[in-house]
């Protein structure tokens, strides 16, 4: 992956000297330059940057203001900034570090010192980026069902509480659909649990494909799935449920399960409703609707009564 550095200094000569010094050790692929903080901020908003060398004293917008502006943007605040200053002023350096800079180099700079300080900050950033990726992966794993790659039950309940509160606050609709694969035990009994997992994964993949990016699709447990449809009234949720029911019957299996057709039963409930005054009652209404669908012969979608 290409690495880039942004060099901010009102002196063309200083910028050229820095570029020449760093190019000798091949630390970066791209070198971006700016003469002041305003020009630099425009660049960093539009171009990925791994490290910034920033002069403190510049026209229009100085280094202090530039560094403080970086801290206001989540996507920019973790970019390491090395201050460039021509003054041996302890208070000035402390102020820059307090604003968010990571280190400083005094001009005229020693080439070896500049390279060493840049290498240290690049290494720190690399470690921080790896930690972020690891944390993101752990978060994803903790929220995801390993078989179906849908959200798991724990995440679902957190999302349900959050979406319910949001719908109540905004006076908007929230629909919940419980989906159950009909006669799933027979699939396991006839084909084995491994093939049963294939069925679960296929239904989950279809569900993931059909929901909107901001909806929540989760495996609730066993052969049950739950969908949260935000900003969705009961009639619209029923249309989704019916489309999904029909689509499930079209899933084609190969190998041992060639010719197998599966169906699902669905229960749908929506907030606001006279029968729904909390998360538990919303879930209960959908569960009762699912029970009605099963009692009615399965392979159908039923709404809360």
Considering the domain boundaries, does residue 63 fall inside one? yes
Shared domain for 179 and 46, answered yes or no, is no
Give Rg (Cα) of the chain: 29
pLDDT per residue over 239-251, tens digit each?
999 999 999 999 9
Peptide linkage before 272 cis (omega within 30 of 0):
yes
> Which residues make Cβ contacts (< 8 Å) with residue 223, sequence separation at least 6?
180, 181, 184, 200
Average the pLDDT over 144-166 and give the result. 95
Given pLDDT bands bounded at 50, 70 and 90, which one contains residue 100?
confident
**pLDDT beyond 80 at 31:** yes
Shared domain for 253 and 138, answered yes or no, is no
Share of the chain above pLDDT 90, in %: 79
Considering the domain boundaries, does residue 148 fall inside one? no
What is the per-residue pLDDT for 41?
A: 94
Shared domain for 132 and 197, answered yes or no, is no
CATH code for position 9: 3.40.50.2300
Peptide linkage before 164 cis (omega within 30 of 0):
no
Given pLDDT bands bounded at 50, 70 and 90, which one contains residue 175?
very high
Q: Which of 120, 142, 164 is where one domain is finished?
A: 142
Residue 205 has phi, psi (to 5 degrees) of -65, -40
Q: Indicate if 163 belongs to the active site.
A: no
**pLDDT beyond 80 at 61:** yes
What is the per-residue pLDDT for 273?
A: 94
Considering the domain boundaries, does residue 294 fall inside one? yes
SS (H, E, C) 104-172: EEECCCCHHHHHHHHHHHHHHHHHHHHHHHHHHHHHHHHHECCCCCCECHHHHHHHHHHHHHHHHHHCC
Given pLDDT bands bounded at 50, 70 and 90, which one contains residue 106?
confident
Shared domain for 281 and 194, answered yes or no, is yes
**pLDDT beyond 80 at 90:** no
Q: Which of 89, 119, 142 is where one domain is finished?
A: 142
Q: How is residue 83 annotated by DSSP? A: E
Shared domain for 169 and 69, answered yes or no, is no
Q: How far apart, in whole angstroms, are the C-alpha atoms of residue 150 and residue 137?
A: 15
pLDDT per residue over 15-24, tens digit each?
999 999 999 9
Shared domain for 202 and 262, answered yes or no, is yes
Residue numbers of the domain that contains 56: 4-142
Considering the domain boundaries, does residue 20 fall inside one? yes
Annotated catalytic residue within 223, 231, 250, 288: 223
CATH code for position 173: 3.30.70.270
**pLDDT beyond 80 at 78:** yes
pLDDT per residue over 259-304, tens digit each?
999 999 999 999 999 999 999 999 999 999 999 999 999 999 999 9
Share of the chain above pLDDT 70, in %: 99
Average pLDDT, the chain: 93
Shared domain for 285 and 158, answered yes or no, is yes
Shared domain for 157 and 138, answered yes or no, is no
What is the per-residue pLDDT for 88?
A: 72
Shared domain for 181 and 57, answered yes or no, is no
Query: Which tokens sit at 34?
Result: 């700016």
Considering the domain boundaries, does residue 32 fall inside one? yes
Given pLDDT bands bounded at 50, 70 and 90, which one contains residue 136?
confident
Shared domain for 160 and 33, answered yes or no, is no
Q: Which of 90, 115, 142 is where one domain is finished?
A: 142
The partner residues of 82 in beta bridges, in order of sequence, read: 53, 103
Shared domain for 169 and 280, answered yes or no, is yes
**pLDDT beyond 90 at 145:** yes
Considering the domain boundaries, does residue 147 fall inside one? no
Lowest mean pLDDT among 10-14, 62-66, 192-196: 62-66
Shared domain for 293 and 160, answered yes or no, is yes
What is the per-residue pLDDT for 109?
A: 87
Domain count, the chain: 2
Given pLDDT bands bounded at 50, 70 and 90, which one contains residue 141?
confident
């Amino acid at each position: 992956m290409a690495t880039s550095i942004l060099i901010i200094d009102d002196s063309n000569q200083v910028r050229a000297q820095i570029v020449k010094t760093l190019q000798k050790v091949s630390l970066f692929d791209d070198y971006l330059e700016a003469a002041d903080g305003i020009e630099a901020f425009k660049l960093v908003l539009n171009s990925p940057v791994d490290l910034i060398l920033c002069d403190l004293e510049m026209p229009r917008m100085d280094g202090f203001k530039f560094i403080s502006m970086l801290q206001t943007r989540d996507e920019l605040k973790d970019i390491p900034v090395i201050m460039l200053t021509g003054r041996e002023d302890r208070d000035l350096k402390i102020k820059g570090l307090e604003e968010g800079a990571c280190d400083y180099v005094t001009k005229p700079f020693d080439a070896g010192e500049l390279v060493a300080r840049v290498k240290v900050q690049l290494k720190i950033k690399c470690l921080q980026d790896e930690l972020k990726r690891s944390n993101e992966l752990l978060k994803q794993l903790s929220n995801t069902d390993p078989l179906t790659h849908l959200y798991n039950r724990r995440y679902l309940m957190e999302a349900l509480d959050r979406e319910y509160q949001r719908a109540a606050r905004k006076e908007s609709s929230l629909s919940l659909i419980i989906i159950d694969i009909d006669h799933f035990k027979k699939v396991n009994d006839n084909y084995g649990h491994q093939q049963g997992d294939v069925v679960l994964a296929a239904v989950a993949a279809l569900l993931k494909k059909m929901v909107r990016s901001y909806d929540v699709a989760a495996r609730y447990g066993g052969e049950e799935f739950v969908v949260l449809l935000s900003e969705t009234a009961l009639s619209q949720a029923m249309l989704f449920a019916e489309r999904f029911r029909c689509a499930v019957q079209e899933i084609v299996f190969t190998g041992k399960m060639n010719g197998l057709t599966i169906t699902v039963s669905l229960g749908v409930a929506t907030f606001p409703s006279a029968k729904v005054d909390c998360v538990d009652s919303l879930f209960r209404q959908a569960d009762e609707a699912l029970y009605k669908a099963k009692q009615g012969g399965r392979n159908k979608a039923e709404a809360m009564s």
